[in-house]
A and B are shown apart, each in its own frame.
Chain A
Amino acid sequence: MSDFLWLVIALPLAGALFLHFFGRYLREPLAGVFATLAIGAAFVVAVVAAVPFFAGTGEAEHLVIWEWMPAVGATFELQWDPLSALMTLVVTGVGTLIHLFAIGYMHGDERFHRFFTYLNLFAASMLTLVLAGNYAMLFIGWELVGLCSYLLIGFWFTRPSAAAAAKKAFVVNRIGDLGFLIGLMVMFATFGTLSFEGVLGRAATELTVGTATAIGLLFLVGAAGKSAQVPLYVWLPDAMEGPTPVSALIHAATMVTAGVYVVARSSPIYVESPIASGTVAVIGAITALWAASIAIGQRDIKKVLAYSTVSQLGYMFMGVGATAYVAGVFHLMTHAFFKALLFLGAGSVIHAMSDEQDMYKMGGLAKRMPITATTMGIATLAIAGIPPLAGFWSKDEILGALFERGGIYSALWVVGLIGALMTAFYMTRQWVLVFAGRPRWDEGVEPHESPAVMTLPLMALAVLSVVAGFVNTPFRFTLEHFLEPAFHGVEMQHAPEGWGMFLVLAGLSTLAGVAGVAAGWLAYNRPPEVWRRFQEGFGRLWTAWEQAYRIDDLYGAVVVAPGRRLAEFSAFQFDQKVVDGAVNGVGALVYRLGSALRMLQTGYVRNYGAGFAAGLLVVAIWLVVRGMS
């Protein structure tokens, strides 16, 4: 029994509370060390609790921590099964490494302790999300991570761009949350409960295809908002205004995968509706290709990674959309490792380059920063899908499942292959632009390798990026067996079996990866004039990629400007005249009614007595008349 599981949430929450009240009394590294210990302890607790699952003897547990009004089912309960265990281990494990990294990265910041307060608060919220035992609690965690994301993107709120980015993330997420919330209402109306047991256990027998489709699509709206899918992805690139550890933790490894988690968690609902599942997969495919193409044209080191994250999340959506839940979750895990590593590496570079983020002004950093260069190189190969690194296995399992599913999913498989090629290309481009070639640094920039507190997490994540893929290979389905209890009874899509098919499919995607890496290397490992000319050769296509298809301008013209006019109309015309009028009218009515009734309150006992007698008469006459009839 894992009765102590609440500690996983309580530890970072306690850390956040402690730092909130006493953080300002701690000297600089102490607040960070404290926060790191809090989440590290949560990781240890999670490992201990997950031991039965590793041993293969664990069963899904449902822990009721306390019941607040059981009558309405508002219960604080935790779900402890392999899926939530895996998510918890990723959140706390990667989270600990990122906390550690941030001690070095945030060195010298005025609001050092405040940063770790938010980071711990985020960890507690994210753990609430993944450990929730019912959808109501999941939604609370869902909203809380959104809040923390807002706070952390806008951490450097004195920069107008950071404040704007935070606001944008918040607003776009609200759209998604609205869909999610409506989905929850439909769910409650259908099942009369929001608990996982009550909903997911009965989905197969009681859910009609229509309702399953409605809930699935509404959840997809929420998931697309949180996991930055087309068309709601626009907030994530801007979110890079936040400090880099935030980008690594929230906008790469954990929070943005919440959408994937919700789809995987709701698998009994999605398998009932081919339309909802198919839409998830198609949205994922569009996002994967769309964001990958934008990533090619970026010159900001973090923007490349941001679009890459959007694209990789698209792969996960393709996986879970094709009902290959294990594959989607597998990619979620490996991606958490190598993308966190890429972000932290980028942070290390930015730190070394005195806050320079333009890759065109980098180059030749491999000599100055060997550890960062090596670890980022490993992560680049991992995400490019070069065997036997982690990204190869997980991406290949998604692609294999798409291929095996056939039909329209075959088209998605092709999209996935093209996307893999593009991924390998833009990631290699990034590595070469940053680390290879001759320095193109600005005057006075003297890069240096980061301190051990920053490189240690890089090395740890690099090891994970190499080996994490081996937990689920076509030769050994360890993860598949591990996750089995969480997807018990759910019809799931797998990659094709047999050596022949594996070799063909793996060969094709390896070919795509290698081709991408080679193209990137050949195109960019040259003097700047040459690769600049190479880029110009694409003409307006390159400009489109560079400007991210100017989607922000489009949204600005189509959504934001009319929205602002509508808001202005609502605020200054409709609200002030109609709504305020109505509210004031009701208020005035109540007030007048009160004043009129107040006249009865004369203070004379005889009047009170008369009122009393009148009331008595009414009651008595009513009852007596009733008795006579």
Chain B
Amino acid sequence: MTLAQATMIDPPVVSWLGIAPELVLGVGAALVLLIEVQWKPSRTAIAWAGGAAVIAAALLSVLLHARIESGDGISTFLPFAGMIALDGFGVFARYVLLAVAGLGLLAAQRMVQEAGTRAAEMVALMLLATAGFSLMAISANLILTFLGLEIGSISLYVLAGYVRERGNSDEAAIKYFLLGSFASAVFVYGVALVFAGTGNFSIQGVHDYLDGVVVFEPGVILLGLALLVVGLTFKVTAAPFHSWAPDVYQGAPAGVVGFMAAIAKIGGFAGLVRILVSAFPDLAGDWAPVVAAIAAVSMVVGSVLAIVQDDIRRLLAYSGVAHAGFILTGVLSGGEGTAEIWFYLAIYAVQLVAAFAVVAAVSGPSGSRSALSDYAGLAQRQPFLAATFAVILLGMGGIPLTAGFVAKFGVFSDAWAAGHEWVVIVGVLASVVAFFLYLRVIVTMYMDEPAGEAAAAPLGVRWVTSVAVVVTLLFGVFPGPLLDLAGRALPL
């Protein structure tokens, strides 16, 4: 049986390798829980088990990547009845997601230690969230995209409320859950409308339908598209759908906030880019102005509001809103900007996890108060932590020779080339404003008198920040290899 025939016959084609990373993560989550029940191992062992699952998933992704690149035709068909896309896009998404999961586990080290018997729950939830967003990224079908979104999101709702003893952790979880459900409902309604308009759940099917049929009354489809875009921009904390983020980031336990924030952004952007670029390229003239407006509002609102925050977590949340806007400018150029979006996401996700790891180290892993004044004179109390944090913040600000600069330059030049000059101008101005807020944190750390004692940073946190510094500087000076890799991360 040739591959060409395979696409036509009815019984679904199965490619276990195609979903192996997600399988490993899911099975890993289950195993971690079972091991905990059966053997009650040390918390460190549980964390290692989670880490092993992540590493195994990463190795399988590399294997899959090699298969796809080998050109043996594996990527020409969609296994599992057209549910899964085997493409560079999904592989790169997994790399980034798994890197975030690994770093997230490292950053949560102290929290795992303090979690007592519930450590396994936490590790399992992190693995499940990764698997969910990963499914979202490789999905070739809107239904599966929704399923992945929900698997990931629900895991995150639970993680947000993980520290039960603390009121505002519960509050964060409930807020996240209510608003998240709202967004999910909007998304799934959008899927329904798109199906109503095109008769397709499959991304390729929607694309083919729009390509081949002249739609005289596209109202239903456009309404569906609007709901899809809104549902996903909620996940990536783009304004005006961001209002949950500061409250949730502030209330959720510091040890996992970085993971939560980064992984949801990656999943959300993976879904958004795949849907807009692969399913709706023919309607780009309609959705591009919407995305441009959301990007501009996000950049401005995020940067401006970040400046007035006195809490580092809220500050990072708003800066995340601005970053969502920056990344959205890359979406504007249709498929052209996919590589730059991935580059940006990879860099920013690592920086975000590391930044919250610093927060967890300074204000305690389960605490919720992270006033900026806690960071006064951090350079004297914790020179290593302060120095690495400073580099990460400069990278987020996009100073030349950091990866953040290359990333911003990439998405902006794509948007400019695609004719959205005004968004780029807004973006550049917003980056100037945003840069001030990163500088403000650095000044607080280096210029102000030390306030109180800071607990020594755990080894895991040091590792995470070191990795982020290396990534920030290495890919700032030698962006080539990562840009090449991201350049192959294209959807089918």
Contact = CB atoms under 8 A, between A and B. Distances in A.
B186 A623 contact: no
B182 A609 contact: yes
B244 A594 contact: no
Interface string A41-82: 000000000000000000000000011111110000000000
Interface string A599-622: 011010101110110111001101
A626 B286 contact: yes
Contacts of B182: 609, 612
B290 A619 contact: yes
A608 B305 contact: no
A146 B149 CA distance: 57
A590 B413 CA distance: 27
A554 interface: no
Interface string B218-230: 1101110111011
Nearest to A597: B305
Contacts of A607: 243
B479 interface: yes
A595 interface: yes
Nearest to A621: B226
A597 B301 contact: yes
Interface string A256-278: 00000000000000000000000
A68 B477 CA distance: 6
Contacts of A69: 406, 409, 479
Given A594-B305, A595-B308, A620 B243 contact: no
B240 interface: yes
A598 B305 contact: yes
B433 interface: yes
Interface string B100-141: 000000000000000000000000000000000000000000
B181 to A, nearest CB: 10
Interface string A68-111: 11111000000000000000000000000000000000000000
B480 interface: yes
Contacts of B222: 623-624, 626-627
B307 A591 contact: yes
A608 B177 CA distance: 13
A590 B304 contact: yes
B241 interface: yes
B219 A624 contact: yes
Contacts of A68: 401, 477-479
Given A616-B186, A623-B222, A623-B225, A601 B243 contact: yes
B146 interface: no
A614 B297 CA distance: 14
B342 interface: no
A71 B405 CA distance: 13
A325 B308 CA distance: 60
B179 to A, nearest CB: 6
Interface string B178-203: 11001100100000000000000000
A626 B227 CA distance: 15
A616 B477 CA distance: 41
Interface residues of B, number: 44
| B interface SS class | helix
Interface string B248-264: 00000000000000000
A615 B433 CA distance: 24
A558 interface: no
B175 interface: yes
Nearest to A604: B175
Contact of B308 (A70, A72, A594): A594
B438 interface: no
B218 A627 contact: yes
Given A69-B479, A594-B305, A612-B234, A603 B179 contact: no
A614 B223 contact: no
Contacts of B178: 605, 609
Nearest to A603: B247
B246 A601 contact: yes
A189 interface: no
Nearest to A70: B480
Q: Among A594, A597, A600, A607, which residue has the most Cβ atoms of chain B within 10 A?
A: A594
A627 B240 contact: no
Given A71-B413, A620-B227, A623-B225, A615 B308 contact: no
B286 A598 contact: no
A628 interface: yes
Contact of A623 (B223, B246, B401, B480): B223
A593 interface: yes
B219 to A, nearest CB: 5
A584 to B, nearest CB: 13
A338 B386 CA distance: 52
B424 to A, nearest CB: 15
Interface string A153-190: 00000000000000000000000000000000000000
Contacts of A66: 477-478, 480
B243 A600 contact: yes
Contact of B240 (A67, A593, A614): A614
Contacts of A614: 240
Given A597-B304, A622-B290, A623-B222, A608 B406 contact: no
A593 B290 contact: no
Nearest to B215: A627
Given A594-B305, A627-B286, A605 B175 contact: yes
A623 B226 contact: yes
Contacts of A626: 222, 286
Contact of A627 (B219, B294, B307, B477): B219
B308 A605 contact: no
A343 B401 CA distance: 40
B368 to A, nearest CB: 13
Given A598-B305, A627-B219, A619 B229 contact: yes
A613 to B, nearest CB: 8
A182 to B, nearest CB: 21
A103 to B, nearest CB: 35
Contacts of B304: 590, 593-594, 597
A594 B230 contact: no
Given A594-B308, A624-B223, A627-B217, A615 B179 contact: no
A590 B307 contact: yes
A616 B287 CA distance: 14
A153 to B, nearest CB: 29
Given A605-B175, A612-B183, A590 B230 contact: no
A70 B241 CA distance: 36
A598 B222 CA distance: 32
Contact of A67 (B221, B413, B480): B480
A560 B433 CA distance: 36
Interface in B448-491: 477-480
A609 B186 contact: no
A620 to B, nearest CB: 4
A421 to B, nearest CB: 53
Interface in B157-192: 174-175, 178-179, 182-183, 186
A620 B230 CA distance: 9
17 contacts: A66-B478, A69-B409, A69-B479, A590-B304, A594-B307, A594-B308, A597-B305, A607-B243, A608-B179, A608-B244, A615-B241, A616-B226, A620-B227, A623-B286, A624-B222, A624-B223, A626-B286
6 closest Cβ contacts across the A-B interface? A594-B308, A615-B240, A627-B222, A608-B243, A620-B226, A623-B222
Given A66-B480, A601-B247, 13 more contacts: A72-B409, A591-B308, A594-B308, A598-B305, A601-B305, A605-B178, A608-B175, A612-B230, A616-B186, A622-B226, A623-B226, A623-B286, A623-B290
Interface of A: 66-72, 590-591, 593-595, 597-598, 600-601, 603, 605, 607-609, 611-612, 614-616, 619-620, 622-624, 626-628
